Amino acid sequence: MTELQSLIAKMTLEEKAALCTGASAWTATPVERLGIPELTCSDGPHGVRRVPDVNSITVESLPATCFPTASCSASTWDLDLVQKMGEALAEECIALNVDVVLGPGANMKRSPLGGRNFEYYSEDPYLAGEMAASLIRGVQGKGVGTSLKHYAANNQEFQRFTISADVDERTLREIYLPAFEKAVKEARPWTVMCSYNKVNGTFASEHHYLLTDILKKEWGFEGLVVSDWGAVRDRVAALKGGLDWEMPGPQDRHVQAVVDAVRSGELDESVLDEAVRRILRIVFKAKETPKGGKFDVDAHHELARKVAAEGMVLLKNNGLLPLKNQQHIAVIGRSAETAHFQGGGSSHINPTKVAVPFKELKERAVGAELSYAEGYPTDNSYRPGMIDQAVGLARSADVAVLYIALPSFKESEGYDRNDLDLTGQQVALIKAVSKVQPNTVVVLNNGAPVAMGEWIDGVAAVLEGWMMGQAGGAAIADVLYGKVNPSGKLAETFPHKLADTPAHLNWPGGAGQVRYGEGLFIGYRYYDMKEIPVLFPFGHGLSYTTFAYSNPRVSAKTFKDIDGLTVTVDVTNTGGVGGKEIVQVYVHDQKSGLVRPEKELKGFAKVALEPGETKSVSIPLDFRAFAYYHPKYKQWITEDGEFDILIAASADDIRQVLTVNLESTLSLPCILDKESTIREWMDDRRGKVVFGPYYEQIQIQSRQTFGGGEGEGSIGVDVMEMMNDMPLVSVLMFMASALPVHPEDMVAGLLKQVHGME
């Protein structure tokens, strides 16, 4: 008997039930008589929201570093930097007596309208998974736990507590689960947090298939599953589903329900014991890290500044940036004086200090004159006087820098956006200023894409600053003045308009359901397949220098799926200043049994280069880079054939293409059944052997029965093309009189042969 098993054996039923529900808003239930300590958690994921009173959720938290939100950190494409951010978060957790920080969020950005998108990394599961795993490694490497959230298919705020995300198995496996899968398998988070919503009709908190079959059994998750705060409806059903720890507490009614269920035989006590074991393992693991002390406020502020600068994306630049020491700069927009650096809701941090953008710009603008106009109000009202004042300043200046922040009443946890627009005042302001001042720079502070069609042609430059964290004001100044060469690239597509977006026809649902009707095709996958032009593509980002790609090569032209492949390309800085380039590798399957996206991101690397310098960048691709999930086989499969390896600077900027040949090593079971079509019989390697000899006979017989082409006695179709996608048994029914046995018996015999070959 292990030590934990021995401890569980000493616990009363009531103690075990209580342990599976929190003692307060932020702590687990201790059992003092057995030396079981409490566990303390805190909101995250880009800062430690540690409240002084564990019985309160909304009270102001203790000061901590507000790092950039996930939309910004993902745009760094820098895994080492994100890991360092995780290490800093852990140091603050230790100082603030926090055992587990609630984050990162690995949900997909299904639509840019999602109110909580600023907390999530990407529209692409590969990138999101890499980012989440890196943050987890950073935090947990210091002995503090993480909570990977919100599992799963939690992609909107509308009816988030109740709505059912109705999504097919393949889409779930290829889009909405891989980021969680990668983080679980590669970084081993201490906890995974279930989401509020239902998935295909079952609450995520009770979802045995998601929590137990996939997460714990298939992926080998060894930690505990915790509910999102208030996500549990039926505590007994949740335990049966695989949810170990309910939060927040106390929940006496739920504790008693568990006790009663065990005593009545409704709940097997071994299920409760397993939840207790998982909780105790994390409780004691957390206590291995001593808590207390202080963290380096200034060092963490500087790290936040670096992450912000690396994540900012230069969307447009006609040569105006970087700024020189112009004589007069008109600084316009209230977010220049009142920094907009984080979103509303559970991730809202009480920052240790805040870099004011206007002040930081003044420090860089040596010898320049700076003037300021507020430009727009805090609310959604229209104030023409503010615009007039701004226009007056801009007209007399050499450059106008507009700080435009999407206000919290349009974007926050708790509600989704209604549109992609800035406020009417902000749009009018940008248009009016740029009309009188062609040297206009727009700096955006927002958590998700905004529409720019009304004004982007009139401005000289656009810098996407995101919700950039407490040091973001300094980072903006660093980028504007060239102290930092921008190297961020978009982790999500910026569309021209809302009607272009993948989920538009299925958003946000109603009557308790939202249908994921776009399937696999979210983000750039959708825009590729529909051939819809976008404002800025996934992976886009400009620099103050230029990069050339040359000498692309692969480790093998023909390879086995289990061996994978390494892609290498030489990248040269062909400009005049040092910079960083993000090399992206996408994979295109030339032919597949099921429809696949035109291309999918499967690898990337960020490389720093001095002017004239060349470096070779190598990116490995594994089995999963070439596989897709087949719902009938219920597994990831590869198929023999050719793949294009696309080496790119963005999803729309493909620099090099190589073609390779994959040899699949899979021996897949036969999935032919009595409803299988003729085409499916001929596409199956075993089926073709068994059925092939009959195929020509069926062709002859079908033409005799139905005729062919346009001639006399014909039904005016290509008969075999029509027949190929009919069930074999149905085709045989039309020619039953010419068969020696009944069509159903014939198909049954063929199936017996083909399944006997396995």
Q: How far apart are CA 670 and CA 615, in angstroms?
A: 47
Q: How far apart are CA 611 and CA 543, in angstroms?
A: 13
Q: Are 371 and 413 in contact (CB under 8 A)?
A: no
Closest CA to 620 of 559, 692, 535, 695: 559
Q: How far apart are CA 473 and CA 307, in angstroms?
A: 12
Closest CA to 525 of 45, 176, 141: 176
Does 104 sit behind a cis peptide bond, omega within 30 degrees of 0 on the bond before it? Answer: yes
Q: Are 486 and 75 in contact (CB under 8 A)?
A: no
- Active site residue: 124, 228, 478, 589, which one? 228
Q: How far apart are CA 200 and CA 183, in angstroms?
A: 23
Q: How many CB atoms lie within 10 A of CB 503?
A: 23
Q: How many CA atoms lie within 13 A of 413 on its CB side?
A: 13
Residue 710: what residue type?
Answer: E
Q: How many CB atoms lie within 10 A of CB 465?
A: 33
Rounded to the nearest 10 degrees, how much is the dihedral formed by the CA atoms of 417, 421, 426, 432?
-170
Phi, psi at 87, each rounded to 5°: -65, -40
Q: Are 297 and 352 in contact (CB under 8 A)?
A: yes
Q: How far apart are CA 296 and CA 394, in angstroms?
A: 41
Bridge partners of 412?
Answer: 415
Contacts (Cβ under 8 Å, ≥6 apart) of 247: 21, 22, 25, 41, 226, 227, 228, 229
Beta-sheet pairing, 41-43 with 635-637: unpaired
Q: How far apart are CA 205 and CA 216, in angstroms?
A: 14
Catalytic status, residue 228: yes
**Residue 705 in tokens:** 């029965």
Q: How many CB atoms lie within 10 A of CB 8?
A: 20
- Dmax (CA) of the chain: 98
Q: How far apart are CA 678 and CA 698, in angstroms?
A: 10
Beta-sheet pairing, 328-332 with 399-405: parallel
Q: How far apart are CA 13 and CA 17, in angstroms?
A: 6
Q: How many CB atoms lie within 10 A of CB 647?
A: 22
DSSP for 150-197 reads: EETT---STTTTT-EEE--HHHIIIIISHHHHHHHHHH--SEEEEPSS
Q: How far apart are CA 100 and CA 390, in angstroms?
A: 47
Bridge partners of 647?
Answer: 585, 656
Residue 402, Cβ density class (10 Å: 0-12 exposed, 13-18 middle, ≥19 buried): buried
**Residue 676 in tokens:** 């299988």
Q: Quick one: how far is CA 528 from the chain centroid? A: 19
DSSP, collapsed to helix, strand or coil, labels residue 82 as: helix
**Residue 379 in tokens:** 């609310």
Angle subtended by helix axes 472-480 and 357-364, to nearest 10: 40
Contacts (Cβ under 8 Å, ≥6 apart) of 591: 639, 641, 642
- What is the distance between the terminal CA atoms of the chain, rounded to a whole angstrom? 42
| Secondary structure, 3-state, 364-400 | HCCCCEEEEECCCCCCCCCCHHHHHHHHHHHHHCCEE
Annotated catalytic residues are 228
